[in-house]
Amino acid sequence: MERVPILKIGDILLVSIQIDMEDQVALRLQEDLADRIVATGCHGVIIDISALDIVDSFVGRTLATIASISKVLDADTVVVGMRPAVAITLVELGLSLPGIRTALNVELGMALLERERGDDSDGDEKEDEDDTGTSAVITS
Amino acid sequence: MTLSADEAARFAALLEEHEDTLVAAWTDRVATSLRGRLSQAELRRQTSELRRGFQQALSGAAQDLSAESAAELRAQLSELSTNRARQGFSATETAVSVIALKDAVLGILGDGASLRDYVAFSSFVDEAALFTFDSYVRVREELIADQAEQLLELSTPVVKLWEGVVAVPLVGTLDSARAQVVMERLLQTLVDTGSPYAIIDITGVPAVDTQVAQHILKTVVAARLMGADCIISGIRPQIAQTIVALGIEFGDIATKASLADALRYVLARTNKKVR
């Protein structure tokens, strides 16, 4: 059976799906990824679907499940590279892929993960307060 | 009532014999109906060509307009209607140019001709007139289709406003076809340029109803799925009132009054996060 390779780049696991996402492949990927996150201790997962022509409800749900599993293992998931045609089809079908974060390409996906980590470690609200505080100091 | 071979031959001879009188009478009648919008010389050229076409068709024993010998006449008729359609004449004025032949022929018809002959000939001319009418409508429809296509191509540019920010200034009414083109072009540009922000400016959209809102919302959701954020700008006061009156919900999609506001908003967000 075909498998989707999982590459480790720094603190991020990169999954580039180049084959048709059949049900078995999707489930296998889900298991493999969970294993790899635990084994490597990575805090980010990027799933590149730019080679996928078809994203159906099952694949959509699998992606959402992967995101949830990663979250439990303290890793953020970003789905990148969705084709316009795929996005239009999903919208027409009324599937909005809830719970999945997206970015246009791998680079923006990595930037997004970096921001997330930064925000998380500082704490969102605290950073906001800091911001207003500093700007107030500057203006006065 | 179709034209018999015998009758056709007689009329062909008649058209040949009284060529000058016929063309003059025909041209006069057409000129009256067009009220001087085409020159007499031009009309004369057209009618004498048509006369030749009719004569050829009839001498080839054409029983109706679909006959082999009427091929040239058909070509002439469709050329005539094409020109008239492009010059802005009405369909009636175009058809009358052909129907006037009946009056002209009645003028040169001798006493010996039977009513039966004339009615048969007249139905042949009617057929020709209907043919002109058909071609006229077809040409008009082609014109309209061409213009619609040009409009579609012209009116949906996607422009880059800033590093990582593209804008779509929508101008004109949004129907399903245009919305589809806008959506596809915007999403493709997002992929090509890798811009995480898109501004949809609806200053040029004259009216926003539920359908238009639906199209815009679909575009925004599709862009989100791909990982880009959309901001809607250029909402005029009346449009805002309509949106609220119709109960359209834009949810958590950012809406701004002007393009400048939208750009400022995007820049503030990128600065804050990227820094």
Low-confidence residues of chain B, pLDDT below 50?
274-275
CA-based nearest residue in chain B for residue A106: B194
CA-based nearest residue in chain B for residue A82: B226
Domain annotation for chain A: domains and CATH numbers:
6-139 (3.30.750.24)
- Asked if A82 and B223 come within 8 Å (Cβ–Cβ), the reply is no
β-strands B165-171, B159-162: how paired? antiparallel
Proportion of chain A above pLDDT 90, given as a percent: 36
- Quote the minimal CA–CA distance from A105 to chain B in Å: 7
- Asked if the C-beta of A108 comes within 8 angstroms of chain B's C-beta atoms, the answer is yes
pTM: 0.64
Crossing angle (nearest 10°) for helices A23-40 and A57-72: 10
Residues in CB range of B228: below 8 A, 6 or more apart: A104, B190, B195, B196, B197, B198
Residue A125 pLDDT greater than 60, yes or no: no
Q: How far is CA B249 from the centre of its chain?
A: 37
**Tell me, what's the pLDDT at B1?**
59
Neighbours of B85 (CB within 10 A): 22
User: B-chain residues within 8 Å CB-CB of A83?
Assistant: 191
Query: Which of B183, B184, B225 lies at the smallest CB-CB distance from A82?
Result: B225
β-strands A6-9, A12-16: how paired? antiparallel
Q: Which candidate in A46, A101, A104, A130 is best for mutational testing of the B interface (most B CBs within 10 A)?
A: A104
The continuous run of DSSP H or E covering A94 comes out as: none
Residue A136 pLDDT greater than 50, yes or no: no
- Asked if B196 and A104 come within 8 Å (Cβ–Cβ), the reply is yes
- Asked if B225 and A102 come within 8 Å (Cβ–Cβ), the reply is yes
**Alpha-carbon gap, residue B140 to B109, rounded angstroms:** 36
User: A-chain residues within 8 Å CB-CB of B223?
Assistant: 87
CA-based nearest residue in chain B for residue A118: B273
**Tell me, what's the pLDDT at A120?**
66
- Asked if B227 and A78 come within 8 Å (Cβ–Cβ), the reply is yes
**Tell me, what's the pLDDT at B158?**
86
CA-based nearest residue in chain B for residue A48: B226
- Tens digit of pLDDT for each residue in A9-54? 989 999 999 888 888 888 899 999 999 999 998 999 999 999 988 8
- Asked if the C-beta of A54 comes within 8 angstroms of chain B's C-beta atoms, the answer is no
- Tens digit of pLDDT for each residue in B142-185? 989 998 888 777 767 888 888 889 999 988 888 888 888 888 88
**Tell me, what's the pLDDT at B155?**
66
Residues in CB range of A131: below 8 A, 6 or more apart: B272
- Asked if the C-beta of A52 comes within 8 angstroms of chain B's C-beta atoms, the answer is no
User: B-chain residues within 8 Å CB-CB of A111?
Assistant: 274
- Asked if B228 and A104 come within 8 Å (Cβ–Cβ), the reply is yes
User: CB of B226 within 8 A of CB of A84?
Assistant: yes
End-to-end alpha carbon distance in chain B: 87
Domain annotation for chain B: domains and CATH numbers:
5-151 (1.10.490.10), 159-274 (3.30.750.24)
CA proximity to A95, closest of B241, B221, B48 = B221
**Tell me, what's the pLDDT at A131?**
40
Average pLDDT over residues A56-78: 89
**Tell me, what's the pLDDT at A35?**
92
- Quote the minimal CA–CA distance from B252 to chain A in Å: 14
Chain mean pLDDT for chain A: 82
Residue A130 pLDDT greater than 60, yes or no: no
DSSP, residue by residue, B180-237: HHHHHHHHHHHHHHT-SEEEEEEEE-S---HHHHHHHHHHHHHHHHHT-EEEEE---H
User: B-chain residues within 8 Å CB-CB of A80?
Assistant: 227
Q: Name the pLDDT band for A122 (thresholds 50, 70, 90).
A: low
Whether ipTM tops 0.85, in short, is no
Q: How far is CA B149 from the centre of its chain?
A: 10
Neighbours of B153 (CB within 10 A): 9
- Quote the minimal CA–CA distance from A137 to chain B in Å: 17
